[in-house]
Amino acid sequence: MSTVNRCIAIAAHGRRCQQTTYRGGPYCWHHTQSRKVWPPSRVQARQRKAAAPAAAPPAELPALRVEPALSPLERISQALTDEQLEELAEFLSRRSFGTFRIRKADGEVVDARPDVALPYPLSRRSASA
């Protein structure tokens, strides 16, 4: 049997603390300090407050007017100008690839036009020519 007493605390990884015990207790100084529970944080039995009575619902609710939801096409037509809508229609009907860029600022459409993009990089195009 060893003459040195070791702390009996066991870490999360399963190994025992290697420090000597503190003032004859089973734990070292560190684990004694970490086990203290100061009075303000102790759990106390608290009395529940009586629940306040619920407020009665109003007798009549005003009738809410529900507006029909707009279809996506209607929302797009409201956001874009006639010229921008025409460019979008031409892009969708004629192009087989590419992107149509719509830029917004402060919730308003400021630019809507097809992006000029090549299907492959210029360096590859010039090398094959």
**What beta strand segments (E) does 15-54 contain?**
none
- Output the CA–CA distances (angstroms, integers) from residue 78 to 70, 85, 86, 120, 127, in the order listed: 10, 10, 13, 35, 46
Q: Are 21 and 5 in contact (CB under 8 A)?
A: yes
* pTM exceeds 0.75: no
pLDDT along the chain (129 residues), means of 10: 73 82 83 64 61 72 76 88 90 80 87 76 57
Partners of residue 103 on adjacent β-strands: 111
Please, are residues 28 and 7 in contact by the beta-carbon 8 Å criterion? yes
